[in-house]
């Protein structure tokens, strides 16, 4: 036995490409439950390390350096770690498993399958942070995307390669609206990132909103709220990396991420742990600066012909439309859909507030009769809302203003156009025909 070992070892030493490499390891110097500091370890930012032994240890990711020490963020839960516990890198940083092998699968922020269907085999590799593209490599948004929701198809038409946000407070119907879009969207691949949401919503979303044929062409990255902030950010990066790989193959990809605000919250936790100064609403500058890096990864690729149409939910904390995350996302996205709590309280679902909502590419992807009818509906709705209190109090006398009279007469038709049952699907052509038929003559 010893002879066989020495012979194979000596033979390997004689190989021309043999390059002995020492095992890199450090020691844990401090740990406060989330942030770790290690000494004697020199590895790049983003490297995942094993802290402690494999039975009672935990994984952590390198996030920076301070005073000669390596800073790591805990990726797991509580761990029985002792001072001077070993810290060993487990692999090169910054790669995600991509490709057709992931279709129909559910993975976590680290790329590990959590659907009980076994390991993922035959997957390719893609940089977790993406590949930087020239602005000239991005194509224009010229073709509409049917999402099956009448109000969006008719009044806020979404284009292939557009980035759009669904902005609302909690409990107004964002997840239900996403489910309607997933079931009806015409896309080759559907990427769904459930980042920082409740664990119960993950199973509910899979069983009720990503079922049947949609499940076979979908990839779900689920990182619930009780996971590490670094793992939440890695989940957001991973779902974008998978989408980019499919776009490079020429696929038409629909990327849905719920929610962008939870990613910003994870960035806030990391930034504050690193000692960054807090600015508006407690967000450090790095948390807000992270949003453009994510959003700009979606779009159309002129070389492959593929596209990533991205829909992000943005939680308005306290129903504040001027929340830093909402305001930052609104300035970067190609459009936004605002959900109104007042409409939801009146039983109007989906509770889309047409007035403040906008699609910045709609003028490029619909014909003139459609665009004219949409503007007519908007005008009637705005006139009615401006004078709603007068009408309800009886202070307005019919005939005093023809524009108000027309708006009052059209209001039931406007509300009927916006309303839609969750299980109902209305195609883009049907949405346009109905809109032009009712409001195209004005």
- Summarize the confidence of residues 414-420 as an average pLDDT: 94
Q: What is the pLDDT of residues 150-188, one digit of tens each?
A: 999 999 999 999 999 999 888 888 888 998 998 888 899
Which tokens belong to 85? 């516990």
**Spatial contact of 104 and 216, defined as CB atoms under 8 Å apart:** yes
By residue count, the chain amounts to: 442
Q: What pLDDT, on a 0 to 100 scale, did the predictor assign at position 322?
A: 80
Segment holding 179, helix H or strand E: helix 174-184
Burial 66-101 (b: 16+ CB within 10 A, else e): eeebbbbbbbeeebebeeebbbbbeeebbbbbbbbe
Residue boundaries of the structural domains of the chain: 17-89, 95-365, 370-440
Distance between CA 46 and CA 94 in Å, rounded?
A: 6
Write out the CATH class of domain 17-89: mainly beta
Q: Is the pLDDT of residue 145 over 90?
A: yes
SS3 for 102-162 is: HCCCEECCCCCECCCCCCCCCCEEEECCCCCCCHHHECCCCCEECCCCHHHHHHCCEECCC
Q: Is the pLDDT of residue 108 over 70?
A: yes
Taken in order 66, 67, 68, 72, the sign of the CA dihedral is negative
Q: What pLDDT, on a 0 to 100 scale, did the predictor assign at position 318?
A: 73
Question: Given the structure tokens 């199973």, which residue do they identify?
Answer: 203
Question: Given the structure tokens 């490709």, which residue do they identify?
Answer: 99
Distance between CA 269 and CA 283 in Å, rounded?
A: 9
Q: What pLDDT, on a 0 to 100 scale, did the predictor assign at position 435?
A: 95
Summary mean pLDDT of the chain: 88
Q: Is the pLDDT of residue 14 over 60?
A: no
Q: What pLDDT, on a 0 to 100 scale, did the predictor assign at position 350?
A: 93
Task: Measure the CA angle with vertex 357, ends 351 and 362; round to 5°.
Answer: 120
Verify cis geometry, omega within 30 degrees of 0, for the bond prior to 413: no
Segment holding 100, helix H or strand E: none
Q: What pLDDT, on a 0 to 100 scale, did the predictor assign at position 209?
A: 81
Q: Which of 1-10, 56-65, 203-212, 298-307 bottoms out in mean pLDDT, i.e. has the lowest?
A: 1-10
DSSP label at 422? T
Q: What pLDDT, on a 0 to 100 scale, did the predictor assign at position 316?
A: 85
Write out the CATH class of domain 370-440: mainly alpha
Q: What is the pLDDT of residues 271-296, one digit of tens each?
A: 888 888 888 778 898 899 899 999 99
Instruction: Look at the domain 95-365 and name its fold.
Output: Rossmann fold (3.40.50)
Q: Is the pLDDT of residue 329 over 70?
A: yes
Q: Which of 19-23, 81-85, 137-141 bottoms out in mean pLDDT, i.e. has the lowest?
A: 19-23
Q: What is the pLDDT of residues 355-411, one digit of tens each?
A: 999 999 999 999 999 999 999 999 999 999 999 888 888 888 888 889 999 999 999
Q: What pLDDT, on a 0 to 100 scale, did the predictor assign at position 3?
A: 60
Q: What pLDDT, on a 0 to 100 scale, did the predictor assign at position 338?
A: 94
């Amino acid at each position: 036995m010893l002879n066989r070992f020495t012979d194979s070892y000596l033979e390997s030493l004689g190989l021309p490409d043999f390059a002995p490499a020492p095992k890199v390891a450090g020691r844990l110097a401090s740990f406060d439950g989330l942030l770790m500091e290690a000494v004697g370890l020199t590895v790049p930012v983003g490297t995942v390390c094993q802290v402690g032994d494999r039975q009672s240890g935990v994984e952590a990711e390198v996030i920076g350096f301070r005073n000669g020490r390596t800073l790591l963020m805990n990726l797991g839960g509580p761990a029985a770690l002792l001072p001077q516990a070993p810290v060993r890198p487990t692999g090169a940083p910054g790669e995600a498993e991509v490709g057709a092998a992931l279709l129909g699968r559910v993975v976590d922020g680290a790329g590990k399958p959590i659907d009980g269907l076994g390991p993922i085999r035959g997957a390719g590799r893609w940089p977790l942070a993406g590949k930087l593209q020239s602005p000239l490599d991005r194509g224009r948004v010229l073709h509409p995307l049917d999402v099956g929701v009448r109000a969006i198809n008719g009044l806020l038409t979404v284009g292939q390669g557009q980035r759009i946000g669904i902005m609302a407070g909690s409990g107004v119907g964002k997840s239900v609206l996403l489910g309607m879009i997933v079931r009806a969207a015409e896309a080759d691949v559907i990427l769904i990132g459930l980042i920082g949401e409740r664990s119960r919503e993950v199973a509910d979303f899979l069983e009720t909103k990503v079922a049947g044929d949609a499940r076979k062409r979908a990839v779900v990255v689920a990182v619930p709220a009780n996971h590490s902030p670094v793992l939440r950010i890695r989940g957001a990066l991973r779902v974008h990396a998978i989408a980019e790989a499919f776009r490079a193959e020429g696929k038409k990809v629909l990327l849905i991420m719920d929610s962008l605000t939870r990613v910003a919250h994870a960035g806030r936790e990391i930034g504050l742990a690193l000692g960054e100064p807090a600015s508006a609403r407690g967000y450090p500058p790095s948390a807000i600066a992270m949003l453009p890096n994510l959003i700009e990864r979606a779009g159309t690729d002129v070389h492959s012909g593929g596209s990533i149409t991205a829909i992000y939910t943005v939680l308005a904390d306290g129903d504040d439309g001027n929340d830093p995350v909402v305001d930052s996302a609104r300035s970067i996205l190609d459009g936004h859909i605002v959900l109104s709590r007042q409409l939801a309280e009146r039983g109007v679902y989906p509770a889309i507030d047409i007035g403040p909502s906008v699609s910045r590419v709609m003028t490029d992807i619909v014909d003139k009769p459609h665009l004219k009818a949409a503007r007519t509906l908007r005008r009637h709705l705005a006139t009615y809302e401006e004078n709603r209190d007068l009408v309800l109090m009886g202070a307005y006398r019919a005939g005093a203003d023809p524009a108000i009279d027309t708006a009052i007469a059209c209001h039931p038709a406007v509300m009927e156009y916006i309303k839609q049952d969750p299980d109902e699907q209305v195609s883009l052509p049907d949405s346009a025909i109905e809109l032009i038929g009712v409001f195209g003559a004005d």
